[in-house]
Structure 1
Amino acid sequence: MGVRSGFICWHRALFAPRLHLVRCFESSVASIQDEVWERARPYSAVPGPKPLPIVGNTWRFLPFIGNFSIEEIDRVSRDLHRQYGRIVKLAGLMGRPDMLFLYDADEIERVFRNEELMPHRPSMPSLDYYKHVHRKDFFGDNAGVIAVHGEKWYKFRTRVQQIMLQPRTAKLYVEPIEETAMAFVKRAQNLRNSKLEVPDDFLNEIHKWSLESIARVALDMRLGCMDEQVTNSTSEAQQLIDAVITFFSNVGALELKFPFWRLFSTPTWKKYINALDTITNISMKHISTALQHLHSSGSVQMDNKSSVLQRVLALDPDPRTACILALDMFLVGIDTTSTAVASILYQLSQHPEKQEILYDEIRTILPSHDSSLTAERLEKLNYLKACIKETLRMYPVVIGNGRCMTRDTVIAGYQIPKGTQVVFQHYVISNSDQYFPQPDQFIPERWFKICSKSKQGQNYHPFASLPFGYGRRMCLGRRFADLEIQMVIAKMIQKFRIEYHYEKLQYRIHPMYTPDGPLRFRLIERE
């Protein structure tokens, strides 16, 4: 017997029993899954509003005759839960798969825990078309992480997640993020009228802060968004902000209503495409400028002040990866982060006693207005983090996320076929007394032990409030969003007592889940 054949025999003798055990285990799992599937109720038995012939349930989203409003999808979701229970099927949506609304945190956890290496989020056909058909010349096979699935998504995510999701990387940007937050505070101070109130369009000012923060992190570039000249509606910064708002405002109509845009170019579709072109063109202009600056310096060596663009280039020399990542950050990072900040400020204005507790904490950590808010000091602001978590529990910026089933699955005792879009209704769940005592009350203290990293006494379901999602498709910019939100809220409360003296605002999808009306805060300087 030769050496090679002897080695093969030894290898088989050693590993054959293990391989047999693995195969037996896989066979047992498959057998159990088959048994669970057979015992489950059929998909046709899942409760939900009955679709009509031909038009299905699409008619419910039509104006005048429909009873579902995209702007009030929070109300629709609550009503469906109240009427049908913890799992609801919305079938017969013309041009798209059935949607399965899930209101059970245990079942949501089970779906997340069992997801595959390359999970699918519910598709966005309109954005998928834009990236892979309309602007294929630009994106090619490297279209980022938004509205991308399968191997293309996995390869891109793998390239960039080490930079985007490591807490220590985000902490390197505390200084530029603090500078931007302080510029926003100064801007807010200067905008006040004789009553010390900010103007009706203050949300737009928060958008500018968010855009400036992203540019500092992604490109190490100052856009000057909070300079006086940016009040001009023709400025590129304002055009970019308006385009992002237009993009989000039209997604719901294109995704849930009858997809006429697939047949011809509708007015909504034209606005949507023009908005995406504006976002792409303006973003790439700034990205190209940043790249030219790096090339002119003759090096992409990194230090603690390097941009995300520079860090990605150091790992992947193909500039397209860094460019597409930066573009995705502009696309989904502006409106989401600024809406969260607007909502937190509003809730603190509505709960002055909580605001004063927060101010006392900030004053303890930052005894003077000149004190720098370092990463170490941010770590100690536990009540700040609790206020943020409580706001996002009650009013998550995105009221639900989900998965597109890549295989037949049993959920809540029903046979759910491959291809069904399962939507996790986090807004309804996180406002349910099943998961949170006194869910309609703003109680940051419920999170305090969690925010201070003490797991003792944790009495909430970890999947009942997921404002950033979970798992492999969790929000890629979460670390930076957390840092930006914490910084600007801390600086605003350190400088001002924030009041609101008008009729209480209701929340609407507009286009994020946000207070519906002018944020006419009264900003009173603290001594």
Structure 2
Amino acid sequence: MKLIRAARRVISSFSQQETIISTLEETNISQCGAEWKNAIPYEMVPGPKPQPLLGNTWRFIPFIGDFQIEHIDKVSRKLYEKYGKIVKMEGLLGRPDMLFLFDPDEIEKVFRQEDVLPFRPSMPSLNYYKHVYRKEFFGDNGGVIAVHGEKWQNFRSKVNQIMLQPRATKMYVKSIATTSQELVDRIETIKNDDEVPGDFLNEIHKWSLESIARIALDVRLGCLDSNADPDTQKLIDAVNTFFINVPILELKIPFWRLWNTPTFKAYIQALDTIRDITMQHINVAMNHINQSDEEPSVLQKVLRIDNDTKIASNLALDMFLVGIDTTSNAVASILYQLAMHQQKQDILYKEIKKILPYTNTQITHEKLDQMIYLKACIKETMRMYPVVIGNGRCTTSDRVIGGYQIPKGVQVIFQHCVISNLDEYFTKSNEFLPERWLKNNELYKHHHPFASLPFGFGKRMCLGRRFADLEIQTVLVKIMRNYKIEYHHKKLDYHIHPMYTPNGPLKLKFINRVQ
């Protein structure tokens, strides 16, 4: 029976992807003209050579392999330096070939020419969870993560106007300012001699979770309270476990497709924990759905447009799944960079104080719009240290990329972490220069618009981008208005754990400013 279930697991994870790609292919015309004929054959794309039996998967095996998952950023840089702007990684057990693209011109072409139904690189493990293991729960409305084709289009079309319109976030500024003040209050409680404990990132996780709950469900979880519900930490730990195990399941030998490995069991348990705890809060929000119209939650807005509780709850669930670690690690990284660049921090503080002369001055959407240097600091950190180091597309038809014939079914990976740190696309790329993002600065003219895309681009760009921007900007304003931030320990390298984040205890000093 175990072998039968394993076989079904393998078949289901591959057959769905092949069906979707075949369907998309019918709407495309293969690039078979002169461009295709004159292009270099796919076999000639440079890249590490696969070995018998294990292909290139052996490179991710501990001790014997030369690729470390937690340092994919450095692996990607080495691939670029050795092979150039287009690199093929073939022979990966259980997954299609990957094509690493380090050319923003080619990345722009891929985005500009993408299909009506873009196909992102598949996550077989999450695809299995949503469409096989918990199919009875997700049904045909599996959300936007690990969903493709018409099902993705139907879901996304119903939530785009709620999530991506410029005015979408205006009504949430007050709520997010409140949660940000709670983090400031928490900092004041936990710091010792102005320095916070090394696990400060976990406090930022709590703030991020609280913010998502306010936006998605219009509920207060009390994550930053001293007597917080234990489920708060369980949910944060589960999200971390999910993200940590994704690259292990996707890049290493996929034994999980044959039997329930310990990693796969932990992964499934984490997803179940996220689902169970989040659904408890979603159900509470559903029961109080009509009690307040002042700041309707995302859940309420979806139900007003399409009275489908499954769509509303699955969207909220996806927001919790991918919105906690990404936003919190971005904030941690920005705080660290500001602490390491005191001159830039001073410029930012002067901007904030000018617009918010007192610590109790209310933060508004209009005031945030005026803080151009704040946004520049965020963009510069995300350029140098994007929390998600790359994104990509899966080719749904034969096409020419970088002068090579690329067949359908190849996963094209855009490694922005490497590209955005090259002098070819950003002058003085190794320097933290927020000024490069100011339109009146000379450096502004010298960067490629597709060389740094922390939220992606096109039809499948990050659905929660505007909310993430609001959360990050607001909490930074609150913190910077109250504190001068310093760091007096060993300089931290970056690693992927599970986001691209400073590697080590985040023992920042928060020195109260004279009000």
Q: How high is the TM-score relative to the length of structure 1?
A: 0.91
| Number of the residue aligned with 1:226 | 224
Pairing of 1:133-172 with structure 2 (within 5 A) = 133-172=132-171
**Partners in 2 of 1:118 and 1:227 — Cα distance?**
44
**For residues 162 and 88 of structure 1, what CA distance do their matches in structure 2 show?**
37
Paired amino acid for 2:225 = D
Task: Select the residue among 480, 484, 494 that pairs with 1:493.
Answer: 480
Is 1:244–2:231 an aligned residue pair?
Answer: no
Paired with 1:311 and 1:336, the residues of 2 have a C-alpha distance of: 24
Separation in 1, partners of 2:118, 2:159: 17
Match of 2:15 in 1: none
* CA distance in 2: counterparts of 1:409 and 1:170, whole angstroms: 38
Alignment match, 1:393: 383
Is residue 2:424 matched to residue 1:434? yes
Gaps of 5+ in 1: 1-28
1:459: Cα distance to partner? 2.7
- The residue correspondences of 1:280-319 to structure 2 (distance < 5 A) are 280-294=275-289, 297=291, 303-319=293-309
| 1:9 paired residue number | none
Give 1:81-160 correspondences, 5 Å limit. Answer: 81-160=80-159
Shift of 1:304: 4.8
Counterpart AA for 2:244: S
Q: Secondary structure at the match of 2:445?
A: coil
Aligned to 2:196: 198
Aligned residue pairs: how many?
487
Task: Work out whether 1:357 is the aligned partner of 2:347.
Answer: yes
1:252-291 paired onto structure 2 within 5 Å:
252-291=247-286
Deviation at 1:171, TM superposition (A): 1.3
Query: SS state of the match for residue 260, structure 2?
Result: coil
| Counterpart AA for 1:141 | D
3-state SS in 1 of match to 2:501: strand
Q: C-alpha displacement at 1:456, in angstroms?
A: 11
Structure 2 CA distance for aligned equivalents of residues 31 and 330 of structure 1: 39
Partners of 1:312 and 1:165 in 2: how far apart? 13
Partner Cα separation in structure 1 for residue 476 and residue 307 of structure 2: 37
Match of 1:404 in 2: 394
Q: Counterpart of 1:35 in structure 2: which amino acid?
A: A
Q: CA deviation at 1:33?
A: 5.2
- Runs of 4+ aligned residues of structure 1 deviating over 2 Å after TM superposition are 29-33, 454-459
Matched residue type, 1:430: S
- The one-character-per-residue Cα deviations of 1:349-379 (angstroms, maximum 9, x if unpaired) are 0000100000000000001111011000000
Seen in structure 2, the aligned counterparts of structure 1 residues 229 and 55 have a Cα distance that, compared at 3 Å, is same
- After TM superposition, give the deviation of residue 32 of structure 1 in Å: 8.0
The aligned amino acid for 2:221 is L
Deviation at 1:30, TM superposition (A): 6.7
CA contact (8 A) 2:195 2:509 kept: yes
Aligned equivalent of 2:16: none
Q: Deviations over 1:279-332 (max 9, x none)?
A: 00000000000001126x4xxxx8451111000000010111100000000000
Q: Distance in 1 between matches of 2:30 and 2:408?
A: 19
Q: Take 1:456 and 1:389, find their aligned partners in 2: how far apart are those partners?
A: 14
Identify if the C-alpha distance between structure 1 residues 407 and 148 changes in structure 2 by more than 3 Å, giving closer, same or farther: same
| Cα separation, 1, equivalents of 2:142 and 2:252 | 26
Matched to 1:524, the amino acid is I
Q: What is the root-mean-square deviation of aligned Cα atoms in Å?
A: 1.5
* 1:477 maps to 2:451: no
Counterpart for residue 16 of structure 1: none
1:116-152 deviations in Å (ceiling 9; x for gaps): 1110100000000000001001001110000000000
Instruction: State the identity %.
Output: 63
Alignment correspondent of 2:20? none
Partner residue in 1 for 2:8: none
- CA offset at residue 493 of structure 1? 0.5
**TM-aligned CA distance change 1:266 to 1:35, over 3 Å:** same
TM-score (norm 2): 0.93
Letter in 2 for 1:103: F
1:458 deviates by 3.1
1:467 and 2:454 are equivalent in the alignment: yes
Q: Which residue of 2 aligns with 1:444?
A: 434
Q: CA deviation at 1:172?
A: 1.3
Larger Rg: 1
